[in-house]
Structure 1
């Protein structure tokens, strides 16, 4: 059994420059995700298509925003997970001035990496359509894609020119990232993370819960968008998770919501923020969580929810 699925991941970063003063929401993931969908539909949908979700053509909007899971293929999932996510800027400023920059990231997962150029063209068009309730125009001035070889973001858009993308991140990157890092790690949840257990939204996290959520998320994504079937070593991973322990818990619940432009409905998307210090984490657990951190955990990941970082921590000094 393979520890990780063979699921290629393209991690990109973009920079808008505001052309006028703008009012933007506190949480900008929904703004960028919704705006991207609007721009994608405007650029690539057929002019006479009034229901992109039910389009008979294999258009980019339908494939990215309204995918369908074959019956019985993904157990326990009502709607197919989208093969992407938007990582919003972490600033909560709601006013921006002309000339300010808005930096955000987009992650394409599995077969969705084939739509990379479509995605970039749509975000360039979104700037022309405008951001926020006032449709404030912006110019896409820079783009980058992450190289797992150099471990840096490499320019893919500069001075108005599109440049070659880096190859997608492969599983070996995550194995290498945890090598010789020890067994003490910090999990830092930087956007609201919503994980359900037994039908209830969890307001306390432990390692078995997080590992179960990571396995479930990667399984669903791999089933729909991966290259080969994946059977993770679930029993051994959960045994490792139960053997480790949380040494320090600094998590808290935060509330936020968004109103859908399409339906007018208000969605409540609060979740857990903060850090967990974990001792006794095996390399297998750290590797799994490292990959899961790239695709996020829990509900509303497409808006940027469930973004967390996995970082090794130094062991305390030994007494002389």
Structure 2
């Protein structure tokens, strides 16, 4: 039993199939993993339009949402594939006329096979057991070093809408004038001319303060004016304001995040020779699929 058959038994189904079928089915699952929206079917008999000859196709893909058919011939060989395999498959292609055609094998192709495939528009691919060296050229771990700049609790000083309003409030507050008080930004509100709630402090102030420059260990000061007059409540009194002064200091935190493969085990390598694209296929991606009685790849 080959390693690829063992992968099929362990991750998809431990069943008796004719020689080569488990490799064909692994290929079908790989194409499903690459694009889960595709309809992927193993072992179909197809005829071309107006033709009487029937062809056994290892894997057939129907693209979702568009009329596109892909035919795939699979060969689990321990040596390179020769031109004869490509020539035989082209006989089926010429009659069925798919939109794309692939040959998939485990080792590789002779120069003659590569040349014929190129002439006839047949794409060549490798599907084999994954090796550690297959990670070469792929990003396996990303280390992110980040400096997060935060601001301490800001001090807000309201700007009266006019000098007359300032004098009025001064007389109301008397000895409390100029005192600093703490306030919940969720439970304190801005009001309109009729003293209806417009928003809480957090929704109104947060975007403005977040946009202010922040330099660690330095004090930031600024001023913001509203487009129209608002009201706030100070010690039980409504006060008309046109904006506010703000002041805060900032600090920084340095953090490191590591993004990696999470210890996932790569079981298969799938590589398309035409564009040198490659995919590592992981155990958890394979074991989620099975085949229905018609050979269609479906979720378990």
TM band (smaller chain):
under 0.3
The TM-score normalised by the length of structure 2 is 0.26
The TM-score normalised by the length of structure 1 is 0.25
Which of the two has greater strand per residue?
2
* Largest Rg, 1 or 2: 2
Structure with more contact order per residue of length (Cα contacts < 8 Å, sep ≥ 6): 1
